[in-house]
């Protein structure tokens, strides 16, 4: 069953962390650049501060991308607000990003447990249920999120579900095993699978499609690899190099930008 988040022409172009090849990752500048290029889908990460603010930040600690150190969840929002990514960029709140572009959709990777309930609160306040896809490398976090979200939201497959797709890759496309798995995914609101390039083989994509799942491949920054996965039938590509992906899709007649506004 198609969900509003995925109601867009294929292939979908995702600006990974806003397009980290062109600006500091998960920064306002990165997201703004992607939107100006016409990206309708932005990918980001969600972590909580010590006092319950949900921030667009990837790492557990601040060390790699800021001049501070230690876990981000050890600081209150007022301290996190004063930090700068790459020496110049403030760390955005998830709620502010959702509010900045009401026509843009967000792929949100839940990076910690406290962020789960905070995301539910943010979606309740913003009404952005149909504009987000919730993903995580933790099946436990995905299950908890499904239980807390009061409305259906697009979800990605859990790591265990990805393994199930890979293990069952030789199953008959319309056989009982396929129907059983497809029903399980549908009941869990799993509408897409997001996998690294090494997993996204042609057979994996065919099997996922038979199970009713879109396939989004990450994080593809090489033009030749982008072409290969598109030719294999990927439903979406996540990239840091958003200019190269856009140019390639334009050349292929497959660039579907957001409506200006």
List residues with catalytic annotation. 16, 58
- Residue 157 token pair: 């497959």
Distance of CA 117 to the CA centre of its chain: 18
- Residue 87 token pair: 């020496």
Distance of CA 185 to the CA centre of its chain: 18
Reported as half-sphere exposure (CB side, CA atoms, 13 A), residue 104 has a value of 29
Which three-class secondary structure state does DSSP give residue 228? helix
- Residue 125 token pair: 């306040």
Distance separating alpha carbons of residues 175 and 80, to the nearest angstrom:
52
Which one-letter DSSP state was computed for residue 92? P
Q: 15 has which bridge partners?
A: 42, 239
């Amino acid at each position: 069953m198609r969900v509003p988040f995925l109601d867009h022409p294929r292939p979908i172009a995702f600006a990974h962390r806003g397009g980290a090849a062109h600006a500091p990752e998960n920064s306002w500048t990165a997201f703004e650049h992607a939107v100006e290029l016409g990206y309708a889908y932005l990918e980001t990460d969600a972590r909580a501060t010590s006092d319950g603010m949900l921030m667009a930040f990837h790492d557990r600690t601040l060390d790699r991308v800021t001049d501070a150190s230690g876990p981000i969840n050890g600081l209150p929002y007022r301290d996190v607000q004063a930090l700068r990514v790459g020496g110049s960029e403030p760390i955005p709140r998830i709620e502010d990003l959702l509010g900045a572009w009401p026509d843009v959709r967000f792929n949100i990777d839940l990076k910690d447990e406290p962020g789960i309930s905070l995301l539910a609160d943010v979606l309740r306040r913003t009404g952005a249920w149909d504009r987000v896809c919730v993903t995580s490398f933790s099946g436990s976090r995905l299950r908890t999120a499904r239980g807390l979200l009061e409305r259906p939201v697009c979800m990605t497959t859990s790591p265990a579900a990805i393994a199930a797709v890979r293990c069952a890759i030789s199953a008959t496309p319309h056989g009982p095993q396929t129907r059983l798995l497809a029903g399980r995914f549908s009941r869990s609101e799993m509408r897409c699978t997001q996998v690294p390039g090494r997993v996204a083989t042609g057979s994996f994509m065919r099997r996922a499609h038979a199970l009713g799942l879109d396939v989004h491949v990450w994080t593809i920054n090489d033009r030749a690899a982008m072409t290969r996965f598109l030719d294999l039938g990927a439903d979406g590509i996540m990239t840091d190099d958003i200019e190269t992906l856009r140019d390639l899709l334009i050349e292929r007649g497959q660039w579907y930008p957001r409506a200006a506004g």
